[in-house]
Amino acid sequence: MADISSGKLDVSIKPQDEPLPYRLREHFLSTPEIALYQTLLEMSEGRYIICPKVALNDIFLIVRPNENVHYFNKIFRKHVDFLLCQPRTFKPEIGVELVKPIAKNETRSSDQFMEDLFLTAGLPLVHIPSGEHYEIADVVTLFQLAVTKAKQGAHTAQLSQDSVPACPICGKMMVLRTYRSGPQNGQLYYGCIDNPKCPGMVAIKNG
> Does 98 interact with Zn ion (rule: CB under 5 A)?
no
Is residue 40 classed exposed, middle or buried when 0-12, 13-18 and 19+ CB atoms within 10 A define those classes? buried
> CB 175 → Zn ion: shortest distance, Å?
11
> Does 200 interact with Zn ion (rule: CB under 5 A)?
yes
Please name every residue paired with 55 in a beta bridge, in sequence order, or none if there are none: 79
> CB 16 → Zn ion: shortest distance, Å?
56
* Spatial separation of the C-alpha atoms in residues 153 and 120, rounded to whole Å: 8
> CB 90 → Zn ion: shortest distance, Å?
37
* Spatial separation of the C-alpha atoms in residues 160 and 103, rounded to whole Å: 35
**H helix and E strand count, the chain:** 5, 7
Minimum CB distance to Zn ion smaller for 49 or for 170 = 170
Find the part of the chain contacting Zn ion (CB under 5 A) among 37-45, 111-119, 182-190, 194-202: 194-202
- Nearest CA-CA partner of 98 in 111, 81, 117, 118: 81
Residues 127-186 that bind Zn ion (CB under 5 A): 167, 169-170, 172
> Does 36 interact with Zn ion (rule: CB under 5 A)?
no
> CB 127 → Zn ion: shortest distance, Å?
26
- Nearest CA-CA partner of 133 in 170, 98, 86, 174: 98
> CB 203 → Zn ion: shortest distance, Å?
15
Please name every residue paired with 84 in a beta bridge, in sequence order, or none if there are none: 50, 94
> Does 191 interact with Zn ion (rule: CB under 5 A)?
no
* Binding region for Zn ion (CB under 5 A): 167, 169-170, 172, 192, 194, 198, 200
